[in-house]
Amino acid sequence: MNREQLFEQIKKKKSYLCVGLDTDIEKLPKHLLKFDDPVFEFNKQIIDATKEFAVAYKPNTAFYEVMGSKGWDSLKKTLEYIPKECFTIADAKRGDIGNTSSLYARTFFKQMDFDAITLSPYMGEDSIKPFLEFNNKWVILLIHTSNKGALDFQHLELRDGRFLFEEVINASQQWATPEQMMYVVGATHVERIGEIRRLAPHHFFLVPGIGAQGGDLDAVSKAGFNEQCGLLVNSSRAIIYASNKEDFSEAARNEAKKLQQEMDKLLQWWYHF
């Protein structure tokens, strides 16, 4: 999916919600365990319940790998079930030397047909390049993450007074255009979002950390919007575990709808500004 198509979806659904499919088999409603593949069944019902309100889905690979080869199959089936108009993100946080990164790119862009993958920048340009060779596929680079440890290295001050995360933005803008690259910017340090928007005015940001991690949708959006919305705001646990009973998909739908309605208002605010 290209940027224009993504923006079309955002306008159509009046939403920039990404639903994180961090499906933990130990947290599933009990009545699903009778299914052959409870994780897929759960995801299927979550997708059906939220697709009206979500423009993107983001399974985190850790939750599937922990189930071994069976989990890998659940991930693949889940991806195939997501409606084609939704943007799909493999939250994999990979990155390796060039010939190895090529294999990861093949895994997530060809063997599976994800639109995007999250990558860690530590190994530099040649660890990212192989992912940029695919048409209409996206790299989503970790810049400023939502966890406490973000401060350990991402906030180190460089010789010229900038922070490491600023140099990651600067360098990576030489590798790819905003048509191919997005940035992960956590909602939990909202004061940074406006600064990062100034450094990268045209890039989409994938923003984790609202809901369970405590970030604030209103503040994040007002600091982060650009001319094409420029935000995909992720919520995982607050949506998919809104209830752990038989009504889980209805509860998920309500949470997703609530977020979409807030997003609709924020988008209106932005376009009248």
Active site residues: 93
Q: How far is the CB of 263 from its own copies (least distance, A)?
A: 23
- Nearest alpha-carbon partner for 93 in 58, 136, 60, 131: 60
Distance CA 262, CA 25 (A): 30
Q: What are phi and psi of 190, to 5 degrees?
A: -65, -25
Pick 9 or 121: Cβ nearer its own copies: 121
Contacts to its own copies from residues 75-114, by CB under 8 A = 76, 93-98, 100-101, 103-104, 106-107, 111
Measured CA to CA, the distance from residue 109 to residue 244 in angstroms comes to 33
Which among 142, 257, 163, 153 is positioned nearest to 205, based on CA atoms?
Answer: 142
Residues in contact with its own copies, counted by CB under 8 A, come to a total of 57
Give φ, ψ of 66 to 5 degrees.
-65, -15
* Least distance (Å) between residue 9 CB and its own copies: 27
Q: Compute and round to an integer the Cα radius of gyration of the chain.
A: 18
Q: Among 64, 52, 83, 43, which residue's Cα sits nearest to residue 264?
A: 52
Is position 69 an interface residue for its own copies (rule: CB under 8 A)? yes
| Phi then psi dihedrals of residue 178, to 5 deg | -65, 0
For its own copies, the closer of residues 9 and 236 by Cβ is 236
36 interacts with its own copies by CB under 8 A: no
The DSSP letter of residue 215 is B
> Nearer Cβ to its own copies, position 60 or 260?
60
**Does the footprint of its own copies cover residue 145 (CB under 8 A)?**
yes
Nearer to its own copies, 32 or 67 (CB): 67
Contact in structure between 220 and 233 (CB atoms under 8 Å): yes
Please give the Cα distance from 42 to 32 (Å, whole number): 7
Residue 230 in the binding site for its own copies (CB under 8 A): no
Q: Is 153 in the site for its own copies (CB under 8 A)?
A: yes
Q: Give me the residues paired with residue 182 across strands.
A: 140, 204
Q: Which is nearer to its own copies, 13 or 189 (CB)?
A: 189
Q: Which of 4, 149, 191, 273 binds its own copies (CB under 8 A)?
A: 149
Residues that bind its own copies (CB under 8 A): 22, 24, 60, 62-63, 65-70, 72-73, 76, 93-98, 100-101, 103-104, 106-107, 111, 120-128, 142, 145-154, 156-159, 161, 164, 167-168, 171, 213
